[in-house]
Each structure stands twice: as C-alpha cells, then as structure tokens.
Amino acid sequence: MEKESCLFLGTLQKPHGVAGGMVLRSPNVLPENLDETDHVFLNIDEILVPFFVGGFTYRDDKTGIIFLDDVDDKAKTTEFIHREVYLPDAKPQPGEKDHQLDYLVGYHLLDITSGFSGIISAVDDIPGNPVMHVKTNDEEVLIPFQQDLIKRVNKKKKTMEMNLPDGLLDLYGV
C-alpha cells in the first residue's frame, strides 16, 4: 500500500490506560466513521504495515483512542508511539469516477473573498449537487462542490481555495 492512496489520519501520541489503547491525534478533523473501520496502516520504517482495529473512541474532533488487535497492554504500545496512522483506500484510485469526493475530508477550505475558513468534515456526494460539510469554530456550514468556484487545490498541503458566491455565508451568520 502506498501513502498516496491513503488518507493520513494522524500520529499515535502516547499510551492510554493499561489495556493497549493509544491516543491518536490528527492535525485535521478526524473522519466520522473511524469507529467502524476494520483496519489502518502504521508507517514503520517508511513501510505501511496493516493492523486490525480492535476499537476506536472519539475524544474530540481531532483526537481519539485507538485499540489495535494483539496490542493488549501498555508495554506493547511503546513500539507504536509516534507512528503515523493512515486510513486505507481513502482517496480515489486512477480510473475511479470523479464524483467520489471523500478524499477531501480533512482538507482546509478557504474562501479567498471573505476570508472564511474551516475544515471539510464530510462530503455528501449527491448526484449533480455534491455538498461539503465545513466545520469552523462551533459552526457547520454546507458548501456546494462546484468546479467553477474552486480556484486552487493543494493536495500536499490538503488545502482548497474557493471563491464562494455572495450571500452564501450570510445564510449561516458567518
């Protein structure tokens, strides 16, 4: 598995408790379905190694507690601390349809006109009218995914600059 075909989730920061849990901290908002994930990849010596997930609990939108199968005590967690964690198959593969937009989750969105910014937390892939859920502070704003509104996307930095239509953000009081 290559990093380019995965979504970077974050880094394992420290052990949590004595049952093998580890704190996963992300620079971005964590995807909403991690508690349903079967497996993740850990970067060990620049090789992505798969591990089955025994459980996941959210602490906040950027932090969670992850349990890996066969890592069942605090001593075993020490070899995994400070490792990068990746979610498999989170980005579209070559040849897949362009309307699959889940890879945008975690991207930082910036409106170049108003200065509005937030993190894309989910994408509703509605045929003909996909919508991005953007979290900023305590608000969630729905932004239409329209190619003509997008000015720049930086996949390395996970940023998207847009020119949102006048009045859209006024609907949310932002």
Q: How far apart are CA 105 and CA 26, in angstroms?
A: 12
**What is the per-residue pLDDT for 56?**
94
Return the domain boundaries, the chain. 3-87, 102-172
- Take residue 100 and report the two structure tokens written for it: 């699959």
- Angle (CA) 158 83 81, round 5°: 135
Domain 3-87: top CATH class:
mainly beta
Find the mean pLDDT for residues 96-106: 67
**What is the per-residue pLDDT for 94?**
42
Q: What percent of the chain has pLDDT over 70?
A: 90
- Take residue 32 and report the two structure tokens written for it: 């909403």
Find the mean pLDDT for residues 133-146: 88
Tell me the CATH architecture of domain 102-172.
Answer: Roll (2.30)
Q: Using one digit for the tens of pLDDT, what is the confidence trace for 41-85?
A: 999 988 888 899 999 999 988 999 999 988 888 888 999 999 999
**Which of 23-32, 55-64, 98-107, 148-157 is predicted with the least confidence, judged by mean pLDDT?**
98-107
- Decide: residue 92, CB within 10 A, 0-12 exposed, 13-18 middle, 19+ buried: middle
